[in-house]
Structures are given as structure tokens and as C-alpha cells.
Amino acid sequence: MNKFDVIVIGAGASGLIAAGKASEYGLNVCLLEKKSRPGIKLSITGKGRCNITNSADMKEFVSEFGENGKFLFGAFNKFFNNDLIDFFKNLGVDSRLERGGRYFPESDDAHQIVNALIKYAKQNNVKIHTASTVENIVKESNQIKEIVLSNGEVLQADKYILSTGGKSYPLTGSTGDGYKFAKSLGHTIIEPTPALVPIVINSPYLKQLNGLKLKNIEIILLADDKSITKLFGEMEFTIFGFTGPIILTVSSQVYKLIHENKKIEISINLKPSLDEKQLDDRLVRELNHFGNLPVRNMLKTLLPMQLIDIFMKENNIKHTEKCSNINKIMRKKMFDGLTNMKFKVTSTRPIEEAIITKGGVCLDEVEQNTMKSKIINNLYFCGEILNIDGPTGGFNLQAAFSTGYLAGMSTGESK
């Protein structure tokens, strides 16, 4: 039987850093990964560019995670965004700051981040075993006694770190195994649900609009005709509905409201930077300017091409209608069409397509300053398995790296 000081289960963002950190204390660390290579999800993050963190200050950073964010103070106080940037720099990876406070590796290559983490783990002799799926965790009273791999092999350690991630993008290896393990060990699992997930819209126009990106727009999420959230930014039409930053941000709210059987709609304001008078003045100006020319021509100054025919159809504007024929009532309709384009939401895409899993191990059962389980003496958690989820922008990876770092450190400091 193989015996280690620490066994880390799951070689994703949090597990790689946790294993590397624990090994810095001279511990004999084994890192188990079910897939054929470590960090598969990490290698597809940020559209292959890996948005490692965000420049927000700690208070703002934590607030991005909502109510549960304050749990992260423990980990962030030990290892935060600037520490992470220095950490990668020491491993030969320079970072670049982009709009929205997002940090990416200068190479724009997520594989560089994965390779740096593998290098870090190997520096202090972490034994990385790929194609090693943990199937069962055996406990004896309030201690883990051993773990069993799918090939029947039994491994033991003094301490265990569970870093199996969430349930989304299961082809990357994150299939939610950790929730089952944690539950069998006595932990409470807050139901895993999709977050940062595209949403499904009921509209006959999706085929036409597929691929259209709208920038500097505002959306309002409506539940039973009541405004719930307003967001400014960027979104994209897909064949089944909407995606893009502001859509992903509201998606977990959409999921929740749908499951409360609410009628959900999204209203798009294409001209949020103009107030009512400014937009009406603009319409008057454009209509006058285009005079006897078709409205269609004038709309090119206000709308992306893909939207023009749909806009005309929805607002009952004839194909040949001239600008000079548009009266006050029709202009008001056009105004409404530009500022309140409504779409019915039917659902979110499934959790498998979510960027992040909401829910997970209940934070009340984990020590904030060590990541140690309050239920099992020799167990630590880190990463997405915890009941923490943040928005896009590098927040989730920083949470994974920071909690991983702290979990690794805690196993070392308590040896």
C-alpha cells in the first residue's frame, strides 16, 4: 500500500497549487487526476487565454461573490491577486492587465499557466498520477482512513485535500465526484446549480441573429413583469438564445426565478447612453435627414444590419416606407423598439455548459483560515467544490488559486 503525507484529489487550478504549496514544507505529496493530463479545464479558460485574476481591491473582489464572499478573506489574506501575479512571474509567466481589471498571461496561452503550475508542483517532487480516478473515500470515525482508486488500488495519507471542482464542462473531468465524497463524509452539499451559463430564448429570430454581438447595451431582467436586475455591457445572440458577459452574470438569477415558476423576460435597450429626449431628438434628426429615402436606410445609422429587418417587422414598418411618412406615433413605436426589445426566456442551458457551478460544500463546515473540514480531522477543501461562485473577470480562478494555496499551506503548517 502506498502511504503519503498528503493526497490531493483533482489536479485542476486549486489542486495543482495546493499540492505544490504542501510540498514546499518537505511533505511527500501525491496529486491524483482522473484525466490523462492535469489542468484540462484550466487550459480552456478565458477562451484559451486564461483570465487568471482581477485587479479589484480585496473588499471589492470579495463583494463580487455576494454573501458567501466573506469566507474568502481567510485565503485572500494569505495569497491575493498581486501574490498570484508574482507567483507566476517567478515561474516565468508575465501577466498583462486588460480592460475590466482582467489579468491574462502575456503569451495569451492558458497552457503556459498549466505548465507553470505543473513545474511548481514538480519542483518539490509532487508525485502527479494522471488517469487515476478516486472512486471511494473510506472514513473511520472522524478521520479519512484511505482512498480507493477505480483500479482497486488503495492509498493512504495523513491528510487529504479535496479539489475535484464543480459539475460543469464534465469532459474536463469535473463531474461532481467531490460532492458525493464530501456528502458521504458527513458534509452538507448546497445543491449544485448552473452559474455563468447561456440562456435559452423563445424567439423566431434566433437563426437570423445567431452570432450578433451587441456592445454598450443595457439589459433588464424581468420576472412577472417586475424589473429584477439592470446590467450594462456586452451580449451575444446564439442559435438557442443569449450569451456574453452580462447574460452570464444574470444567468444564475434566471435559473432561480425559472424554478420559482416566474415568467421571465429580458428587455434590451440598444441606446442606454441616450436619455429619452436625446434619443427622440436623434430620431427626429435622422428621419429629417433621410427625408424621402426608405426608413430601412435610416435604420442603418441606429442598428446592426442583422437587426434591421426584424425591427421593421416587429414595428410594422413597411419595407418601402419613407422616413418622411413616419408620424409621431410611429416614431414613439420606433423609440420603444430601440429601448425595450423584449425576449421571453425559457430556461438556462444545462449545468454541463455552465462556466461555474453554484452551490457545493457548505461553508459553515469549513474553517475559513485553513480550509480544514470541521467534520473530518484530516480533510481540507479548495476550489470550486466549495459553495462559492463569482462573476467572469478572473474572480473564480483567483478563488481557486487562493483557497488551494491556503489548503496546501495548512497541511504543511500543521504537520
Indicate which single residue of 5, 14, 257, 266 sits in contact with ligand FAD (rule: CB under 6 A). Answer: 14
Binding segment for ligand FAD among 12-20, 68-76, 263-271, 339-347 (CB under 6 A)? 12-20
Q: What are phi and psi of 411, to 5 degrees?
A: -65, -35
Query: Is residue 134 a contact residue for ligand FAD (CB under 6 A)?
Result: yes
Query: Is residue 192 a contact residue for ligand FAD (CB under 6 A)?
Result: no
Between residues 47 and 277, which has the closer beta carbon with respect to ligand FAD? 47
Instruction: Report the 10 Å Cβ neighbour count for 256.
Output: 14
Write down the least CB distance from residue 350 to ligand FAD, Å.
13
Write down the least CB distance from residue 344 to ligand FAD, Å.
27
Indicate which single residue of 23, 163, 243, 249 sits in contact with ligand FAD (rule: CB under 6 A). Answer: 163
Q: Which of positions 242-271 make contact with ligand FAD (CB under 6 A)?
A: none
Query: Is residue 359 a contact residue for ligand FAD (CB under 6 A)?
Result: no
Write down the least CB distance from residue 219 to ligand FAD, Å.
21
Between residues 222 and 386, which has the closer beta carbon with respect to ligand FAD? 386
Write down the least CB distance from residue 231 to ligand FAD, Å.
19
Query: Is residue 15 a contact residue for ligand FAD (CB under 6 A)?
Result: yes
> How many residues contact ligand FAD, by CB under 6 A?
38
Between residues 173 and 412, which has the closer beta carbon with respect to ligand FAD? 173
Write down the least CB distance from residue 389 to ligand FAD, Å.
8
Query: Is residue 10 a contact residue for ligand FAD (CB under 6 A)?
Result: yes
Distance between CA atoms of residues 32 and 355, nearest Å = 23
Query: Is residue 11 a contact residue for ligand FAD (CB under 6 A)?
Result: yes
Binding segment for ligand FAD among 31-39, 69-77, 216-224, 280-288 (CB under 6 A)? 31-39
Write down the least CB distance from residue 327 to ligand FAD, Å.
49
Indicate which single residue of 6, 23, 46, 101 sits in contact with ligand FAD (rule: CB under 6 A). Answer: 46
Binding segment for ligand FAD among 3-11, 20-28, 80-88, 93-101 (CB under 6 A)? 3-11
Residues of this chain that interact with ligand FAD (CB under 6 A) are 9-15, 32-35, 40-42, 44-46, 50-51, 133-134, 163-165, 168-169, 173-174, 177, 355-356, 383-384, 394-397, 400
